[in-house]
A and B are shown apart, each in its own frame.
Chain A
């Protein structure tokens, strides 16, 4: 079990320059085990570029991108075009970079809801089915660090909620860190620990509700975004302590929080790991 405090990946003032243009600059954040970090931002704001810096696909032109040694990485890219000449079944696609047992394959396909498509050819899948196959592939090998670039694109609304629940479950079960890229702020908000709002640089970051309330965020997305997210604005009435206990607003400390407690307070800089078994209850 890796040290929960040590970041899996860490970007320090990272920037990428291509053809004289800075795609992103001054990116600073880290992802720790059991943490979901969500990148949001308008088109062309450098979300995918930032993820690729974190993955090591791009080397930063300035600053640093550090990955912890020996961590296992799972990646769901934003777009993959599978050439029609490639005879590739979902099962075989699952084992692209890793060897899996039949049980691992069927468990991952079961979890993403496409167990019946194990033998189907990848190029015949619909957009949503393919996204599920990519997520199944990435989660099957139990990665330490998972990067999901718009993982629910093309998935219908009911499926979207189920996949977000699954992503939360993956985090709980594998205890991995997740970097999630989303255009879909209000659904992601529910499970995420830290939101980073990008626009070529980090324009704001923090807990989901802190970001929504920030002036930078409103300037970027306009005032209309705030009401749409209002359902996720909430009161902090208790704090999770590093030893797993919960301190309530009245100062009392209990072993864990309760579904009717209201919402959690997370440290914006996440200097403390979030150790909360019940977290899902109060976000749903």
Chain B
């Protein structure tokens, strides 16, 4: 049952889930779900350009996502369109552009579904290396900027008044998002990355009393979703990305159920006894 590719997929998926968790919490707190969606849609354009220019796919996706993020910041500052319209414009035009560029390369035969919905078969040792090195870098940078980033998330002006630089931390945060999208594309596919960011974090919300705790619980939920989703994918021969997202959704629904409510009350009571 533990074929080699499957073990690799589990290891890669667990890495992605752990890195995505804290960023997913920030996406939820900052109401950036659609922003994450836009970046991940733009990832397909990165894939197309990687094939066109013969460069590393992960690198190309990161560069395109980072450029789209910067374009978004610039447009939001000067544009006459509202943020959500801008996001929609960028998301779908970059997705369409990516599809057109891919289709125009007639000599190229690639499995588009793998990029859209994830492809566990294609996870290599090199991919795992990229995920863990990139992921570790993301977590280290995030740990360094966590305090000012969280302060700016609660209230930007307060953070700025008290000597922090929210513009700079926001920029770093966007680059981290681009990295996470680039490294998780192979596991869940460009269309479902936002789900991997948001659903574990949303599941963790009810069980958390602090921001850091919520990030850790989201990571645990994410790992559980990846492992159960990949097992389901193997058993029922379903695509890996959607299977992981369905597993995450199942965990989210369980967290809303009365059973979870009882667990929360019990843990609060035991916490209360300690105080």
Number of residues from A at the complex interface, CB < 8 A:
25
Contacts of B213 in A (CB 8 A): 87
Complex partner residue of A85 from B159, B161, B164, B205, CB under 8 angstroms? B205
Complex partner residue of B154 from A57, A75, A82, CB under 8 angstroms? A82
Distance of A16 from chain B, by nearest CB (Å): 14
Complex partner residue of A88 from B31, B157, B164, B211, CB under 8 angstroms? B211
B interface footprint on A3-26 (CB within 8 Å = 1, 0 otherwise): 000000000000000000000000
Which of A52, A57, A93 is most buried by chain B, counting CB atoms within 10 A of its CB? A57
Contacts of A88 in B (CB 8 A): 154, 210-211
Distance of B167 from chain A, by nearest CB (Å): 12
In the complex the two chains form, is A80's CB within 8 Å of B210's CB?
no
**Nearest CB in chain B to that of A122: its residue:** B154
Complex partner residue of A73 from B151, B161, B210, CB under 8 angstroms? B161
Interface flag for B28 (CB, 8 Å): yes
Distance in angstroms between the alpha carbons of A212 and B153 in the assembled complex: 41
In the complex the two chains form, is B161's CB within 8 Å of A119's CB?
no
In the complex the two chains form, is B209's CB within 8 Å of A77's CB?
no
Interface flag for A260 (CB, 8 Å): no
Complex partner residue of A119 from B154, B157, B160, B275, CB under 8 angstroms? B275
B interface footprint on A81-95 (CB within 8 Å = 1, 0 otherwise): 011011111001100
**Nearest CB in chain A to that of B153: its residue:** A86
Distance in angstroms between the alpha carbons of A56 and B158 in the assembled complex: 11
Given contacts A83-B29, A97-B164, contact A77 B157 (CB under 8 A): yes
In the complex the two chains form, is B162's CB within 8 Å of A86's CB?
no
Interface flag for A96 (CB, 8 Å): yes
Distance of A279 from chain B, by nearest CB (Å): 28
Contacts of A57 in B (CB 8 A): 157, 160-161
Contacts of B154 in A (CB 8 A): 80, 82, 86, 88, 93, 96
Contacts of B163 in A (CB 8 A): 72-73, 97
Distance in angstroms between the alpha carbons of A88 and B159 in the assembled complex: 16
Given contacts A96-B150, A96-B151, contact A87 B211 (CB under 8 A): yes
In the complex the two chains form, is A92's CB within 8 Å of B158's CB?
no
**Nearest CB in chain A to that of B162: its residue:** A97
**Nearest CB in chain B to that of A54: its residue:** B161
Distance of A8 from chain B, by nearest CB (Å): 13
Contacts of B122 in A (CB 8 A): none
Distance in angstroms between the alpha carbons of A56 and B164 in the assembled complex: 11
Q: Which residues A69-117 have CB closer than 8 A to chain B?
A: 72-75, 77, 80, 82-83, 85-89, 92-93, 96-98
Interface residues of chain A, those whose CB is within 8 Å of chain B, are 52, 55-57, 72-75, 77, 80, 82-83, 85-89, 92-93, 96-98, 119, 121, 147
> Would you mind naming 5 contact pairs between A and B with Cβ atoms under 8 Å apart?
A77-B157, A77-B161, A80-B155, A82-B154, A97-B158
Which 6 residue pairs spanning A and B have beta carbons closest together?
Answer: A75-B161, A55-B161, A87-B208, A97-B162, A96-B151, A97-B151
9 more contacts with CB within 8 A, not counting A56-B161, A83-B31, A97-B163, are A56-B160, A57-B157, A73-B161, A73-B163, A75-B158, A82-B154, A83-B29, A88-B210, A98-B162
